[in-house]
Structure 1
């Protein structure tokens, strides 16, 4: 019997009020569904999947689930998930990736497969209330199909090259219905469980992803890394520590790729792990050191987005490493924070690309705060960086200069005994910057100029305090000879500060 004929037969034999549908003329599900699954797995035409959706919609719950084993339905769902998957990452003889039309076709297939999943989940929900089926029948089936259905939804729920508006909408509906079918209130609850003692479905999902997250396979399916990272971000403290051995190796693997996009994605995954796994678990088996060395190697990159992600991640990892060193009584003369800052300052000193200068300057104050008084170990190089960055305008938003002014403020506050001997060069650099900002005729907004002048003024006040009023004395002659109102206002604030 053709699928279309089977659909018509099922509809014709539909149940009357208070009756079970007579199914003698219709082949049983355990005969027809495995054949359909085989057709789908072998690359069936879209018409077959559409007819399958109509079949599931028309069939009664007892026909669909009554004599069907969960394994058979699981194989059908897995075949549909494979049918909707984006094309494998293959290259032609010229080394060029597949054309966009292959991804467009994948989006159409995803919408068709998603429609089948919607009908199937609706039938499972309806079957729970039927006396002849109920939870004892539906539960094992749901346990078998929810992993592949979740992976389908996670593959297509976010805008990707292989999705379109329709496929994303269907994926959102499928995920919402799946979460509802298992009795959960959110995707996070679906994955992790309702409380810490309840086992969620994350282990099952990772079990399906495991074979695609190996060194040789993870790049074949372009969706795998996104499904993994999207899923990982839903697991937080304290649940994530239970799965550390499952999520850390793939995160390191993705971050170690040669493509910048993959490196950044891997670093984001590592950052999430650092924030949501207890320090004791991270330090066990030297895991934190492994992550540190992986991140440290990325600091040699020349890509600003990657450097920004790495620096933010390191700032949360360094306290964990330093606490572990103290507990092990390792009397090292320098800390990992010293190592990172030394390399960062080396790169900053010679850096001419504005994007990287901004990233470095934004992160620098946090490193100074972390080291505290120990920043005196890096004062010579830090001073050269501060002087060089104060001198160069970096565009309308002046992010690098603002970051360096904040760095200078933190440095003065923590290493104030070492500042008086550096007063001449710092005072000259700050006054020059104030004059440059005042005379700037470029597109810099007035609010940015005001922030720069306010930051420079605060630095002058801090320098005056740690030098016992020397700045006020040196600025007296400047104030009396300067006729520019804006510059005089900055100097007046320093002189009036007590």
Structure 2
């Protein structure tokens, strides 16, 4: 049965997202929150009605199909105002729709997204081609105009619709759809508010999963993305900073991997800049007291070290002391249990990737980790998880420095076999206790 627009339009109208959702994280007005909760209840039912209507009427006119996709995609995200019921009902609607085509994605981008970003053209992009502009449009002060009239922020679900389009763009279609995709992505990524930057990083991450690397390089967008993502790591002292760090670092690594040649100087230099300038010289230097941000950095540095490999050696003077500092070894260092496990995990990766230099650092590492273990035992906070983490560090250290078992580890067991026996891999029977 064919379905005309008059039958679906009333349902689709109910799915328009109130602009108040864009202020939900900043506006605690109980009246607004109550109204939004009522809207969610109505919307959930509307999605069920939409699915039932489509199931009995398979032949949707193209313009109605495009609008249906656009208004349904707004609920395909992780925003705080979405709940499981809305997401499940959204998935059910998409399952009833015909397979997505390039024409549908193009129309969603052109009709439902492009108009809301027109008032804020990105100064570093040619909006018609999606190429990097030879110079910023509007001159040096263009960024001020760029932030003035941000109409797109009145559409709180625009990022979800853009995400859906990116995830449904094939490798072969990126070239054609590029001028419609990259401008709004860069608008999110280069916004001054962390919540929009975070959405931008996630959009870039989704895009890098499928975009042809030559398209990035030919349009010059690879450098724009690298610069913008790097700047994102300077957005500190915000409630979103920890998740920004966790999301941005792997995205930068993926971009570097995609746009540079293996074992090239360019790849090495960019990886070093990420670790040395942005994390050690940036996050650790300027957010040292933001514990959640430091924990986030400890979580992501291992993947950077594994990319750098032996090149990580140049950062040992920063990495080892920071790992030990996060264990809370001195009275001046408050103990933060959330830091300790990530610090030990990172220390293990440091040992693995920098094995040729571990003979110089083994004494420092043994002393620091043993102090941590003794403090944990004496304070009654030692547990199986901590024991496993400490034992793993010592196992990796003995792999890097095999003689350590008969020398340093043996001396520790002679000193206190009950204290150090559980965390060392040396056989107690092999030690002659004098």
Query: Which of the five TM-score ranges fits, normalised by the shorter chain?
Result: 0.7 to 0.9
CA distance in 1 between partners of 2:293 and 2:339 (Å): 14
Root mean square deviation of aligned Cα: 3.8
8 Å CA contact 1:344, 1:360 repeated in 2: yes
Counterpart contact for 1:153–1:171, Cα < 8 Å: yes
Match of 2:115?
211
| 1:420-459 equivalent positions in 2, closer than 5 A | 420-442=359-381, 446-459=383-396
Which of residues 65, 70, 73 in structure 2 aligns to 1:154?
73
Answer yes or no: is the 8 Å Cα contact 1:361–1:401 preserved in 2: yes
* Greater relative contact order (Cα < 8 A, sep 6+): 2
> Residues 395-450 of structure 1: CA distance to partner in whole angstroms, max 9, x if unpaired?
1684322322223222333xx1x3333343233223323333443413x6x33122
Equivalent of 1:246 in 180, 185, 210: 180
Greater CA drift, 315-324 or 263-272: 315-324
* Structure 1 segments unaligned to the other structure (5+ residues): 1-60, 66-72, 126-137, 185-189, 194-198
The verdict on how the C-alpha distance between 1:82 and 1:324 changes in structure 2, with shifts beyond 3 A counting, is: farther
Match of 1:318 in 2: 256
Partner of 1:100: 33
Give structure 2 stretches of 5+ with no counterpart: 121-149, 330-334
CA contact (8 A) 2:388 2:423 kept: no
Q: Give how far 1:148 is off.
A: 0.9
The alpha carbon displacement at 1:271 in A equals 0.6
After TM superposition, the score normalised by the length of structure 1 is 0.65
Q: Is contact 1:357-1:400 (8 Å) kept? A: no
1:407 partnered with 2:349? yes
| Partner residue in 2 for 1:305 | 243
2:279 paired with 1:344: yes
Contact 2:295 2:342 in 1 (8 A): yes
Question: What is aligned with 1:380?
Answer: 317
**Equivalent residue runs for 1:251-266 within 5 Å:** 251-266=185-200
Specify whether residues 475 and 495 from structure 1 end up closer, same or farther in structure 2 by C-alpha distance, changes over 3 A only: farther
1:86 counterpart residue number: 17
Q: Give the one of 301, 312, 327 matched to 1:364.
A: 301
**C-alpha distance in 2, partners of 1:288/1:253?**
15
- The structure number with the bigger radius of gyration is 1
- Determine the structure 2 residue equivalent to 1:39: none
Distance change in 2, residues 1:157/1:338 (3 Å): closer
Q: TM-score, normalised by structure 2?
A: 0.74
> 8 Å contact 1:434–1:456 — kept in the other structure?
no
> Are 1:274 and 1:282, in contact at CA under 8 Å, matched by a contact in 2?
no
Q: Secondary structure of 2:209's partner?
A: helix
What pairs with 1:46-65 in structure 2 (closer than 5 Å)?
none
Give SS of 2:424's match: helix
Q: Which residue of 2 aligns with 1:288?
A: 222
